[in-house]
Amino acid sequence: MTVMLTRRDLVIGLAATALLAPTPTLGQAVPTPAQGLGPLYPPERPRDPDFDLTRIAGRAGRAKGSAIEVSGRVLEVDGRPIAGADVQIWQADDFGRYHRPRDNSTAPLDADFQGFGAVLTGADGAYRFRTIRPGGYANRTPHIHYMVKVHGRPRLVTQMYFAGEPRNDRDAPLAGIAEPVRHSAVIVPFDAAGQGRFDIVMAPA
C-alpha cells in the first residue's frame, strides 16, 4: 500500500523531531538546533547544484520572487572555522512549491528556480548562497532547509527562518525550539539589500 504524505503530515513530523540545543559550557557558543529532514529533501542532486538558485544552467530566465543572499560560517562551539563542510540548502519557490514529485501542492511551479544548492566552506568556514525569499505554504512560515556534512561527524539538518515574518509565531517546528535559542540561532534578519547572515555552529564531535 502506498502512503501519501500531506503538508499536514510534514508539519506534524517536523514539530515532533525539532530538538532543543544542548547547554553549552562557559565560553562556548550554542550549537545550532537540529530539525527534521522532512519528505521533500531531493532524492538526488540536480545537474546544477551550485550556490545560485535563481538561475538554472541552460535556461535564460531567472527565478521569480525577491532575490536574497544568505551567507555565514560553519563553526565549532569554540568559534574555530570548519573548512570543507558540505553545506546544502533546499526550499520552496516564490509560490510555496518544492520542485519534488512528493510535493502535491496545486500552486504554480517556477521552472526557472533551482530549488537546491550545495557549496563547500572555505578555509575560514564561509559559505554563500544566492536565492529568493521562499513562499510559505499550509501552516508553515517561510524557511530554508539546511544540511551540513562534516567528515567524521553526524550530519546536521536544520532550518533558517526570517526575522519579522508574522507567521513565525504560528509555525509548529519553529515553536519546538526553546527560547532564547530560537531567536538567536535560527531566525535571521535581512537588510534592505536582501543580505542575511546565518552562522551554523556544529555540536562537538
The domains located in the chain, with CATH, are 7-201 (2.60.130.10)
Record the cell numbers describing residue 111, joined without a space. 521552472
Confidence of residue 26 (pLDDT cuts 50, 70, 90): low
Confidence of residue 150 (pLDDT cuts 50, 70, 90): very high
Task: Report whether 117 contacts 49 (CB < 8 A).
Answer: yes
- Separation CA 164–CA 133 (nearest Å): 13
- Separation CA 37–CA 121 (nearest Å): 21
Tell whether the model's pLDDT for residue 132 goes beyond 50: yes
Confidence of residue 84 (pLDDT cuts 50, 70, 90): very high
Q: Which of 185, 193, 204, 197 is nearest to 19 (CA)?
A: 185
Which residue's entry shows cell 517556477? 110
* Confidence at residue 7, expressed as pLDDT on a 0 to 100 scale: 46
Pairing of strands 187-188, 156-162: parallel
- Separation CA 156–CA 190 (nearest Å): 23
* Confidence at residue 152, expressed as pLDDT on a 0 to 100 scale: 94
- Give the range among 66-80, 93-107, 110-124, 130-144 with minimum mean pLDDT: 93-107
